Structure 1
Amino acid sequence: MQEPGVRPTIPDITERLAAASDDEVVADLIRMARAERAVAFRLLPKDRAARIFDALGSSIASELVVDLSDRHVREIFEELAPDDQTMIIDEMPAGVANRVLRDLPEDRRADTMKLLGYSKESAGRRMSPVYSSLGPDLTAAQALTELQGQASRGVPIADAPVVDSTRGLLGVVRLATLIAADPKQRVGELPLGGARVTTDVDQELAAQTLLRSGVDVLPVVDAENRLVGVITEDDALHIDDLESDEDAALAGGSTPLRRPYLASSVFSLASKRVIWLLVLLVAASLTVGVLDAFESALESMVVLSLFIPLLIGTGGNTGAQSVTTVVRALSTGEVRFRDFFRVAFTEFRTGALLGVVLGAAVFVPVTLFAGWQVAAVLSLSLVGICMLATTAGAVIPLLASRVGVDPAVVSSPFISTIVDAVGLILYFLIAKAILGI
């Protein structure tokens, strides 16, 4: 076993291949430099190399295809499902992708090219065009025999779409339903699930639809309701992981890496963060402008400046809590734009309650330190800022979803910066009213 933080060398991983698990080999390959990884991968037996290749993720796998032009790697790539091939090709330079596509057998190339014709991050791009399907006139016994025959051709046995003679989708029949049914009962007479998505639906919505439906596969149909592919449960879980990673990165004011951290260069890490930091730097200038506008108030009562970090921190933290909660509720389908006023009112009241609690907590200590008038200013400001932050944290993601912007893009740092500026304006206005400055 390698020591934590130590990059394994080629001799190290060669000695470990026989005893190490696939997960350990994957972890070591990710830690290696790109050139070393390519050489080490050649040392793997073909059957194991195929499993490792699939587990490395699309970004690392695409680099291996670029670095290893030998037949060994091309054969491994050809064995992948078309949707997996598509994800890897998406990560390749255009010239390399075209070469790889040319090298594929004609039938496999046709399936992969079909998926590449759909827009990125759509259900059509992520579906599998190889799937089991049944006709409504088959008996349950015939259907099971048909599924067994398809399994012998490499199609996994699972819940199956039911289609008519024109490939029109009628629904999905559960495998358990087929097994429990009267062998002579026709498939069309059995209970059929109705969940489906069209090819242009966003992949995240498609994954959520499948995970909520309770079936193994989600049919993907064209505009005429003809079945063109399916999304499997494994696909849905992978998509859900990718979207969760993206939401987490955007909420933190960064762009998702789409590759393992240890396989990312310093330039790559910096480039994913710098744009957001520049945006936030410009947004933070609002706070500077507010302080400049109320400079005379600060000069007449310097003690007010002591509590600015407290107010900024509280507003930012409160807004981050709210936006994280609402974005998560939007991503899981618990909340829709039609819930706008209900969600906004809920967060408004939540902010008021939080502000009252925090204002009460600081009133006595600040009274002892700076007097009751300053304490009143601070307590009332906390109530107002908390109400503002929670409401903004709810309303802005909902509006973003309405106009087709990913709610996670409206990240916590961005909302925090806006709340800071508006919160300070509220603070100084309350101070002027109570202190008469």
Structure 2
Amino acid sequence: MAAQDLRQLVDTNDIPALQQWLVQHAPHEIADEIGRADPLRGVLLFRLLDKDRALEVFEELDPSDQHKILSGLRDHAFRDVVEAMDPDDRARLLGEAPAKFARHVLGGLSPHERTMTAALLGYPDGSVGRYMSPETVAIRRHLTAGEALRVVRERGADAETIYTLPVIDDERRFVGTLSLRDLVLSSPDRPITELVDTTALRVQATDQAEGAARLMQEANLLDLPVVDSEDRVLGLLTIDDAVEVIEAADTEDIARQSAATPWSGHYMSAGVAQLARSRALWLLLLIAAATLTVNVLQFFEATLEQVTALALFIPLLVGTGGNAGAQAATATVRALAVGEVRTRDLFHVAWRESRVGLLLGAMLGAVGLVMGTILVDFPVAVTVALSLVLICGWAATIGATMPLLAKRLGIDPAVISAPLVTTLVDATGLVIYFLIAHAVLPL
């Protein structure tokens, strides 16, 4: 059934057909339709779900959509949903919610759930502590495999995951990790010390969640132990939460690279004013930056009056330079995000990208030489060809180094967006073009 047909069922209040649709679709598909819907339709769909399935769907929603649903539920249904959430999911929901809403949620929780949630909210926004699951099964290192397995059976039902088991000493300090597979396949009397991986990775609760999530991605981990400053185990960062962290970080980077302010929620449920607001500020800034191009053209106005043919190739040159700079900037931001490039690689990256840009410029310059000769004359064609070589080299260098410099200054590299690089390269590229024209042409 298409989304349009589903909206028709909601509008006509066809409850039996809606219930049949909900039964036939997976939780993530239902969550997507709720995210697309306005608050009234979204709450109606959610309230038709049975209790267990409602929780599965709720956990698939973005925090902004979760807030939308909870705001439309009665108090008893509200409390049931929030109480059943995992503490880390609840902490993320409250971290993005208004303070009044957060107090209302915390006030309705049981003391145990309230304590766990408040502890997670005590960590900085964007830190691992906000995303970790405190409900874990930790194994004492002096146990045997049989004793450890008994602990898992007794406490595993209350844990979010048992595939990775942190091993601790008597003071709850991290010793290593134990996989459930190794535990199950070992003889019951085998000491845990023979099974524990003492080289296992771990992160502190105050570390950045994105860095921890990408570490899990690189190391192919299902779970990553989280410790405090004294190396005591606090919980686990699970793979599902790590994927959400990476998705959110990539979404934010994409928004910034396209010169827009990141926003949360489903695109189809966002209003026109919200989308325009997320883009307006950057467009205003880019218009201000584009005045540099106008000033350059005004400065070289006499040159254009003497050789009007130069104006024909301005769009080609600024477009090519902007594209070359945007390509380099996007590649560098991506390499920074996944840890392939570090700020100390600045000069190596600049040297590498400058050669890439010059090589591309030489290729495009050959094309420009032919086009210029056909359309105008050979001297102008030489000017265009040389300009393409230098502009591409310059643009690639600027595009690659600006994100690295931003990172070194503590600025999000994604802020150095492709449109911003393009705008800056436009102005400087024109300077290069007219300087070469003065050197080549008889002006």
TM-score scaled by structure 1?
0.95
Deviation, structure 1 residue 180: 4.2
Residue 118 (structure 1) aligns with:
123
Deviation, structure 1 residue 138: 1.4
Letter in 1 for 2:181: A
The secondary structure found in structure 2 opposite 1:129 is coil
Deviation, structure 1 residue 155: 4.0
Within 2, Cα distance between the matches of 1:157 and 1:69?
Answer: 34
Say if 2:165 and 2:179, in contact at 8 Å, map to a contact too: yes
Q: CA deviation digits over 1:46-105, x for unaligned, max 9?
A: 222111211222111112112223211320111111110011112322111111111111
Residue 396 (structure 1) aligns with:
402
Residue 310 (structure 1) aligns with:
316
Residue 142 (structure 2) aligns with:
137
Moved over 6 A (4+): none
Within 1, Cα distance between the matches of 2:217 and 2:153?
Answer: 25
User: What are the residue-to-residue correspondences of 1:9-408 with 2, within 5 Å?
Assistant: 9-10=10-11, 11-12=13-14, 15-19=17-21, 20-21=24-25, 22-190=27-195, 191-408=197-414
Say if 2:121 and 2:130, in contact at 8 Å, map to a contact too: yes
Say if 1:46 and 1:72, in contact at 8 Å, map to a contact too: no
Judged with a 3 Å threshold, the aligned counterparts in structure 2 of structure 1 residues 291 and 16 are, in CA distance, closer, same or farther, namely same
The secondary structure found in structure 1 opposite 2:235 is strand
Within 2, Cα distance between the matches of 1:194 and 1:55?
Answer: 30
Which segment is superposed worse, 219-228 or 108-117? 219-228
Letter in 1 for 2:2: Q
Letter in 2 for 1:15: A
Deviation, structure 1 residue 182: 4.6
Letter in 2 for 1:84: D
Within 2, Cα distance between the matches of 1:173 and 1:399?
Answer: 41
Question: How large is the RMSD of aligned CA atoms in angstroms?
Answer: 1.8
Q: CA deviation digits over 1:171-227, x for unaligned, max 9?
A: 222333334445433223333343111122111101011222233211112211121
**Pair 1:429 & 2:435 matched:** yes
Among 417, 420, 424, the residue aligned to 2:423: 417
Corresponding residue pairs, total: 437
Say if 1:253 and 1:414, in contact at 8 Å, map to a contact too: yes
Say if 1:14 and 1:40, in contact at 8 Å, map to a contact too: no
Letter in 2 for 1:273: R
Consecutive unaligned residues of structure 1, counting only runs of 5 or more, are none
Deviation, structure 1 residue 320: 1.2
